[in-house]
Amino acid sequence: MSRSDIAAWLQDFQTRLCAQLEAADGGAARFGQDDWQRPGGGGGHSRVLEGGDILEKGGIGFSAVEGELSPAAARQLHLPDPHFFATGVSVVLHPRSPRVPIIHMNVRYFEAGNGEAWFGGGIDLTPIYVNEAQARRFHERLKAVCDAHNPTYYSRFHQWADDYFYLPHRDETRGVGGIFFDRLTVGQDGTVAELFAFVRDVAEMFGPFYTELMRENHALPYGEREEAWQLLRRNRYAEFNLAFDRGTRFGLETGGRTESILMSLPPRCGWAYNPAPPAAGSPEATTLAWLRKGVEWM
């Protein structure tokens, strides 16, 4: 299996996922496509939906780029040779209703100039209001995907997600976690075919699960209080992406395409100064109680 085969599958997945989400949103809103080229080699397609019935903003990006990394970027990746090829798909969806969770997923493949190659990715769920049953279902689906490939994957990658999707200055996880993995190395951790099969199954789980949540939650009632809480929680999402997300920082520090890198940010959010903590026993306080490391969802 060649890198062009992997890139072709990822580009097809982007197209199919856009169609799935458009149908689930109601069919009126469409993902626009913005094609771009990287000056050093390769390019991609950024697809963004805005103003949907359910999705206020959704971004699905595909890229396949190559060339030479800056010395700083090569050091950050611990690469003795700066030449590289990378391809992947990244998804972030921001729904209108505070009853529908934010969700993120990305899958990627990287080849270094010294011949080393690896896969990475992750998927995590960020509810504005945690629905315990849906959070457990999410983790059950992830564990089933992981167990089909390696019985150690879920526990390892769930812990990795807890550690990665964490705001240390808030002492909060970004949401209810998920899985995160990086540098699953070809040869050391499996063959190209084996590792790609896992990454492919993670990606394919995304659409069916999230469109379920869209159908189940989008018509639930909410008011000004819930919308205010949504804006506050969205700012936590933005804080993580701008201050801690490795992909965002790596893209900006290496001269990546700014619009594509920042399309993950929410369309609206709010930074109230020193907001009062939610009242004990409130739905908001219940949600905050779930935003911690080490929750065993099953």
Choose, from 45, 94, 104, 218, the residue flagged as catalytic: 104
> Tokens for 230?
């949504």
* Whether 231 contacts 268, CB under 8 Å: yes
How far is 100 from 218, CA to CA, in rounded Å?
Answer: 6
> Tokens for 202?
């993670």
Q: Is 169 a catalytic residue?
A: no
Residues 6+ apart with CB under 8 A from 289: none
How far is 125 from 128, CA to CA, in rounded Å?
Answer: 10
How far is 258 from 173, CA to CA, in rounded Å?
Answer: 26
Burial code (b: 16+ CB inside 10 Å, e: under 16) for 262-280 equals bbbbbeebeeeeeeeeeee
> Tokens for 111?
């080849």
Residues 6+ apart with CB under 8 A from 144: none
**What sign does the CA torsion over 230, 241, 183, 3 have?**
positive
Q: At what angle do helices 192-217 and 3-25 cross, to 10 degrees?
A: 10
Q: Which residues are catalytic?
A: 104
